[in-house]
Amino acid sequence: MIAPGTSTLTVGGVPLRVRVSGPPDGVPILLIHGIARSLEDWTETQDLLARTHRVISTDLPGFGFSRKGRERPGLTAFGRAMAELLDAAGVTEPAHVMGNSLGGGVAMTLAVDHPGRVASLTLVNSIGFGAEVNISPLPMTYGALASLPGLRGTFGPRARAAGAQTIRDLFFDPALATTEQLRHAGKLARQPDFRATFLGTAATLGAPVVGVRTGWRRALLARVAASGIPVLVVWGDADKILPPRQLDAAKAALPQARTHLFADTGHMPQVEQAAAFAELVGAFVNESALRDGPGGPPQEPAARA
């Protein structure tokens, strides 16, 4: 399951795992994964988009196979790391940034904290639009504990059961919750910085103990709405992690945003609906890139909720 062609770039003095593909002179796209996940969530979509764009995916600091950064994990630190990653990758023009779940919050933070770095935002089942989030720290904690000497017998079966349910909750199609997916998630949970990064990030957001806090959400969405950056919000209609009714909240908070709801799809449309997703977001990127060029602003995309 490990994505081909990964390497590392030093960002803020810390090596981050990255995958860069596509023509070097292509319009840049940055892909950001969700909490407790890795750049592998973007593999098929990256391959499709890289036919015509320069595409960069990365493991956020402390997640995937990247080591943690020097700052406390959270949206501000992750957003700064993404700006520094674009520098390290030699991206000087504004990038089209796509973020899934936590990655959506990171993408929005990058856009408003680092003006001029983001040309458009694609928010995929993104945090920020509601308090409800159905994710437990227990599978992550058990996964980390199960790797410790002397505790494998105590936590191993419990970790596997909790982890398997977490993977199943990501998808509408149960066939996608493969043994390979579970094994990959287990490897991620056993990385040295994973548990501290997961729990630290969740604490800054308010999830999952008290629900995603209102304060930072309102402030961030207000800044995104005022930025004038083109936004596309997509969701899966069977998302068990962030309920699809949060798409209605996104429409209210970002009235100028384009939206799309994928049928029979869970928390990661870029995995379950890779071809349709890549077609939709590729068209949005191209339209956003041309909106101030000859011929005036682009037409509305055909697919819209």
* CATH number of 68's domain: 3.40.50.1820
Same domain? 69 vs 193:
no
What is the count of structural domains for the chain? 2
Q: What are phi and psi of 184, to 5 degrees?
A: -65, -45
- Domain boundary, last residue among 154, 169, 203: 203
What pLDDT shows up at residue 214?
Answer: 81
Do 108 and 160 share a structural domain?
A: no
Nearest C-alpha neighbor of 169 from the set 198, 142, 136: 136
Does 303 fall in a domain?
A: no
Q: What is the structure's pLDDT at 134?
A: 84
Q: How far apart are CA 265 and CA 287, in angstroms?
A: 25
Cβ(188)–Cβ(64) under 8 Å? Answer: yes
Which residue in this structure is represented by tokens 């020097």? Answer: 70
Q: What is the mean pLDDT of residues 173-191?
A: 92
Does a structural domain hold residue 305?
no
Q: Which helix (H) or strand (E) holds 97?
A: strand 95-100
Q: What pLDDT does residue 147 have? A: 47
Residues 121 and 101 occupy one common structural domain: yes
23-27, 68-72, 159-163, 232-236, range with the lowest pLDDT: 159-163
Q: Looking at 83-87, 131-135, 225-229, which range is the least confident one?
A: 131-135
CB-based burial of residue 294 (10 Å sphere; 0-12 exposed, 13-18 middle, 19+ buried)? exposed
Q: Are both 157 and 106 inside the same structural domain?
A: no
Are 168 and 231 contained in the same domain? no
The CA distance from 91 to 96, in Å, is: 11
Q: Could you give the strand order of the β-sheet that contains 95-100, starting from the edge strand earlier in sequence?
A: 6-11, 14-21, 53-58, 27-32, 95-100, 118-124, 231-236, 258-262
55 with 23, same domain? yes
Which of 100-109, 159-168, 292-301 ranks highest by mean pLDDT? 100-109
| Percent of the chain residues past pLDDT 90, beyond the cut | 75
- pTM, whole model, 2 decimals? 0.89
Residue 75: name the closest of 26, 126, 119, 38 by CA.
Answer: 126
Q: Which domain covers residue 181, as residue numbers? A: 138-203
Q: Is 127 helix (H, G, I), strand (E, B) or coil?
A: coil
**Structural contact between residues 171 and 268, judged by C-beta atoms closer than 8 angstroms:** yes
